[in-house]
Structure 1
Amino acid sequence: MKEHRDDDKVSTSLVSSSSSSSSSSSSSSSDLLSPCPVLHSKFLLDEDDLLLELKMSEDDPLFEKKKYILQKKGLDHMEQVYLKGTASPDWIITTLESLLQRARTIQLNELELYFSDLAVYPPAEFYSPRNELEALNSILSAIKISVSCATDKKITALEDLHAATLNLIRDFGAKYRDDMNMIANHSCDKENQLIHWGVCNGVKTKLHIAYFEGAGRGAVALEDLEVGDVALEIPVSNIISEDLVFESDMHPVLASIDGISSETIMLLWSMKEKFNNNSRFKIYFDTLPETFNTGLSFGLDAITSLEGTSLLDKIVEAKEHLRSQYEELFPALCSRYPAIFPPEMYTWEQFLWACELWYSNGMRVMFPDGSLRTCLIPIAGFLNHSICPHILRYGRVDPTMKSLKFTMSRPCKVGDQCYLGYGNLPTSDLITFYGFIPQGCNTSDVIRLDISDHESSCENSMNSGQQDHMVRGTWNSHNREIFYYGLPPPLLEDLREAQCPQHCTNNLTLGNLENEIEVLENLRSTFDALMDVLGDPALDDRTNCCWDVKLAFDFKDIERGILSSVIASCDDGIYLVKEEYRNCMTEDIRG
């Protein structure tokens, strides 16, 4: 389900929470629902100067960690950037670098904070495509606010800064070119009928629908779209929300069931509504596929192929939860209310179809009255996900226009596929709830570790007491120096302390180096064992395999790649530390 946060960012959550999703989605959801960082602008007494203040919201649950990072960088969490009335090229570069350094930190999510490395100098300033786009767009927002009330002298400088920021966004987006091939002459009659229906009912769109090899349907730009353009605008009246259930005959029955969620009520409504020939949304239901091919539909061969992966437990537990939820409702509802819940419409297969519909197409929308509801949004569901999307922020109804706007965060050329951001989701979630693997390197892909926590005695540690350790592909890391090796600092800190509780510094002493070698060797042994469980890739029979088995094998390769990179980093680290150990021994002998 595409889920809203207070700044209109989206993610995935279950229709009804299950144990399989709570651990993987909760961190994403809590991050996405956190308050949006705020950038302010102020005027100084000198008419030639303007002050941009990048202020982080103290309601941000990650406030203290971000504040710590800013302080370690020599910045303040309420840092002020002075903008001069005249703008030389050097001034623009310097000012934008200063703004961007702060904005990137303010926009960090929990996963990026865990892997952030404060020891890199100069600091590595790329965290993820999402972070970069959020940071750049937040700077644009601050500039826009300032321009609206600036004097002529200041407007020129702000416009130059605005243009430079847009250029950075264009250059950054150009690195993530889409290589999906559009299928020419593929029939889109049903999709075109839905768009025609939408336009007749107030929808405004600069997109059309096409089919792509290996991805199915996607939205394509009808014209060049720039940052700030509205690619799609959908009136509230076209949104499928729980208000429709209130008008149906099943609402009194479902409302009487203790603990049933509004999402489950909507799911049951849609199971029947798709067969309603008089439904106002019949054209929408006609465009939906007979099968969604998500991880929830994986067969036995695919499940077996996932042995040793983090995805196995996620899918098995999710399927068990859904089966349990179905059996709590049926056949009891069909037996007691056969006219409202016809048995032929409420089979297990239909229930699973509806679950996949809401997982893959549901969006969490914030309405003007402050209510946050799970909805289906015709036409918007055609937009696919990307790790570097064109549209980052959506999900908040415009109270004036009473519509949902999908605004561009980076440009999209005419004829290119326009992508949405479903959230900071690992590939395991994207397979389970959407049924695909994204193109490119997904920085949210991690392997979580079951390592007992040790209370840290080291002061001023951002991750003191960190309990949930993880690794990701070390190709994402910038620091390969001794004591770092491209591995996550919080993990190494806890392992060092577990090995030697007195350890608190990374000094090049013989004792520290001996401890370091043992930590790295133990860590390598752990990941060797995890790699062995995944098996030999040469034994994966990919000949004429089904879609679900192919996805399972592809995901296995992702986790193999992560583990291989970590093992290689451990090996490099062991070599590096042993070399330093020999140097220290030589120095001691020389006396």
Structure 2
Amino acid sequence: MVGALNIIMSETGDLCLELPKDDPFYHHKQKFLSCKGLGVKETLNLSGSLSQQLLNAALEKLLQFGRIVNLDKVEVYFGEDACTPAGIYSVRNEISALSWILSLIPVSCKMQTQVDTLEALRAAVKSRISEVVGAEKEKARVVDSYRCEKESRLVEWGQDNGVKTKLQIAQIDGYGRGAIASEDLKFGDVALEIPISSIISEEYVYNSDMYPILEKIDGITSETMVLLWTMREKHNLDSKFKPYFDTLQENFCTGLSFGVNAIMELDGTLLLDEIMQAKELLRDRYDELIPLLSNPVFPPELYTWENYLWACELYYSNSMQIKFPDGKLKTCLIPVAGFLNHSIYPHIVKYGKVCVETSSLKFPVSRPCNKGEQCFLSYGNYSSSHLLTFYGFLPKGDNPYDVIPLDFDVIDDEDIETEFSWTTHMLRGTWLSSNHNIFHYGLPTPLLNYLRKAQGLDHHSETDLWENLEVEMGVLENIQSTFDDMMQNLGDADSIDRENADRDVKLAMESKERQRKIISSILDSCSAGIKLVQEFIINPPV
């Protein structure tokens, strides 16, 4: 998780920025900042009236600082090679950095010249947000044949109970149900607001006849309690939340409920292991729980394995972690908000904390969403395999979090552990890299340096690398061999009639194709790298 930033606006108009030392990637980010000519502490003078040139320079400095301090683990790991010439690491990071800059610009100040400067800076940032690279802007293609009657009743119920929305629920081609902006939404506009009273949380368990029984079960979590409550409440015709339960699918089609044919299609993939391990864990939990629920409060016909799996899929795919005014983080179901689909180019990225003043949960947009466009929410920085296993879909576009983790034996060397070392390594599609030159090859620098170290090359300056090209060959051949084996495990592409295949089989096929594409790009980069190194061995640079 990205560490919080220390931000201070002095009376003189100085904006003081500082990267906290408790940031989990402090040393890596310090190095990135240094490469940009920045320190972990920076000061921007925004007093007086600034020319357009000085304003642009201030924004550029803020943006460089903001991009780096907002990098997450994957972005830090690949950052040295993924950063574009324009300084952009990813769409997610760019939106986060720009949103962060807006959040630190003071709303008010004493001097009018300073007010004008801050307003100009705010306007410049909003202009950049609307131009974020890669952000999709397209009208949602509504499927008119699907009448969202249950969904409309839920929205009406929500509005009767204090829900405020600028979204319309519709069946959208290629997505299923989704939320469309009913008016133009600009940065900071609240697309959806839901009062605490309309949120399903553990409080309903504490006030039910279940709690006296559940609280006696050793080690039971609040998440498990509210899940068990939901399994019964779904069938309560007098439930306050009946309009919400009526809109839920009978089958979620997450990876947890894949059929035999889909599971067979996943043979040789990393996803297969993920699904089987997750399902085995759920089955073990169910087998432990059921003997403890032998009470009329828990009707056996409602607590079957099938119903338990359905409830788990519901919470995996629809619940959100919400921070309440008491500071407690609770797993909740949020009626209406569940219709917001995920995207790698989301509009809503900052949510999950109840507003104390209004006792409601707000979903503000972090980039514009025009009327008629689908409004997307970020479910989190997840790989496509995770999204398929627990949410039941594959995101559109190239997901930068589709990484292949690598297991290596720890090098037995006391000197290898430095503040810049990584304990885990990973690879992803090399088309996401901006550097395919010698010593980079589109592959992540932390991995290459680890493998160079494993082959005895302790120092990785450019001079050292040029003098040890045979080590480069060994590193690339090592990676090539590993991924050759992975490609072999995937087997040949299937000739299944995709058009007539079941949905879970189609998803399994697409997931396998994505993994094959990533591995293929890595193998291509290794081959190109080996050829490049061989050329320099034969004809060394002067």
Quickly name the TM-score band, shorter chain normalised: over 0.9
CA distance in 1, matches of 2:292, 2:432: 51
- Does the 8 Å contact 1:364/1:373 carry over to 2? yes
Secondary structure of 1:292's counterpart equals: coil
Q: Which residue of 1 aligns with 2:59?
A: 96
Out of 92, 103, 106, which is 1:130 matched to?
92
The offset of 1:37, in angstroms, is: 2.6
- Does the 8 Å contact 1:54/1:103 carry over to 2? no
Q: Which residue of 2 aligns with 1:430?
A: 387
CA distance in 2, matches of 1:500, 1:238: 61
The offset of 1:77, in angstroms, is: 1.0
CA distance in 2, matches of 1:358, 1:287: 15
Q: Which residue of 2 aligns with 1:516?
A: 472
Distance verdict in 2 for CA 1:572–1:306, change over 3 Å: same
Out of 365, 371, 376, which is 1:419 matched to?
376
The offset of 1:118, in angstroms, is: 7.1
The offset of 1:543, in angstroms, is: 5.0
CA distance in 2, matches of 1:406, 1:510: 52
Q: Which residue of 2 aligns with 1:402?
A: 359
Q: Which residue of 1 aligns with 2:282?
A: 322
Deviates more, 1:51-60 or 1:473-482: 51-60
Secondary structure of 1:364's counterpart equals: strand
- Does the 8 Å contact 1:218/1:383 carry over to 2? yes
Query: Is residue 392 of structure 1 aligned with residue 349 of structure 2?
Result: yes
Distance verdict in 2 for CA 1:177–1:439, change over 3 Å: farther
Q: Once the two structures are superposed, what CA deviation does each residue of 1:409-446 show, in whole Å capped at 9, x if it has no partner?
A: 00100111111111101101100111011111111110
Out of 34, 40, 60, which is 2:8 matched to?
40
- Does the 8 Å contact 2:263/2:272 carry over to 1? yes
Secondary structure of 1:172's counterpart equals: coil
Q: Which residue of 2 aligns with 1:557?
A: 513
- Does the 8 Å contact 1:208/1:220 carry over to 2? yes
- Does the 8 Å contact 1:56/1:106 carry over to 2? yes
Query: Is residue 60 of structure 1 aligned with residue 53 of structure 2?
Result: no
Q: Which residue of 1 aligns with 2:104?
A: 142
Query: Is residue 110 of structure 1 aligned with residue 73 of structure 2?
Result: yes
Secondary structure of 1:171's counterpart equals: coil
Distance verdict in 2 for CA 1:86–1:375, change over 3 Å: same
Q: Which residue of 1 aligns with 2:150?
A: 190
Query: Is residue 545 of structure 1 aligned with residue 501 of structure 2?
Result: yes
CA distance in 2, matches of 1:526, 1:253: 52
Secondary structure of 2:470's counterpart equals: helix
CA distance in 1, matches of 2:321, 2:185: 25
Residue correspondences, number? 542
Secondary structure of 2:10's counterpart equals: strand
CA distance in 2, matches of 1:562, 1:80: 42
Q: 1:446-525 residue pairs with structure 2 within 5 A?
A: 446-454=403-411, 463-464=420-421, 466-507=422-463, 511-525=467-481
User: What is the identity, as a one-letter code, of the residue corresponding to 2:9?
Assistant: S
Name structure 1 gaps, 5 residues minimum: 1-30, 45-49
User: What is the identity, as a one-letter code, of the residue corresponding to 2:486?
Assistant: L
- Does the 8 Å contact 2:217/2:292 carry over to 1? no
Secondary structure of 2:536's counterpart equals: helix
Secondary structure of 1:116's counterpart equals: helix
Secondary structure of 1:521's counterpart equals: helix
- Does the 8 Å contact 1:458/1:504 carry over to 2? no
- Does the 8 Å contact 1:456/1:497 carry over to 2? no
RMSD across aligned positions (CA): 2.1
Q: Which residue of 1 aligns with 2:309?
A: 352
User: What is the identity, as a one-letter code, of the residue corresponding to 2:370?
Assistant: K
Q: Which residue of 1 aligns with 2:132?
A: 172
Query: Is residue 370 of structure 1 aligned with residue 314 of structure 2?
Result: no
Deviates more, 1:64-73 or 1:302-311: 64-73
Q: Which residue of 2 aligns with 1:239?
A: 199
CA distance in 2, matches of 1:498, 1:258: 47
User: What is the identity, as a one-letter code, of the residue corresponding to 1:198?
Assistant: G
CA distance in 1, matches of 2:448, 2:412: 14
Q: Once the two structures are superposed, what CA deviation does each residue of 1:453-479 show, in whole Å capped at 9, x if it has no partner?
A: 326787896532x22111011111111
Q: Once the two structures are superposed, what CA deviation does each residue of 1:263-318 show, in whole Å capped at 9, x if it has no partner?
A: 11111100000000111111111111111111111111111111121111110011
The offset of 1:355, in angstroms, is: 0.4
| Bigger relative contact order (CA 8 A; separation at least 6) | 1
The offset of 1:563, in angstroms, is: 0.9
Name structure 2 gaps, 5 residues minimum: none
- Does the 8 Å contact 1:136/1:169 carry over to 2? yes
The offset of 1:526, in angstroms, is: 1.4
Distance verdict in 2 for CA 1:115–1:258, change over 3 Å: same
User: What is the identity, as a one-letter code, of the residue corresponding to 1:476?
Assistant: L
- Does the 8 Å contact 1:39/1:56 carry over to 2? no
CA distance in 2, matches of 1:61, 1:544: 48
The offset of 1:180, in angstroms, is: 5.2
CA distance in 1, matches of 2:95, 2:25: 19
CA distance in 2, matches of 1:116, 1:393: 23
CA distance in 2, matches of 1:59, 1:582: 48
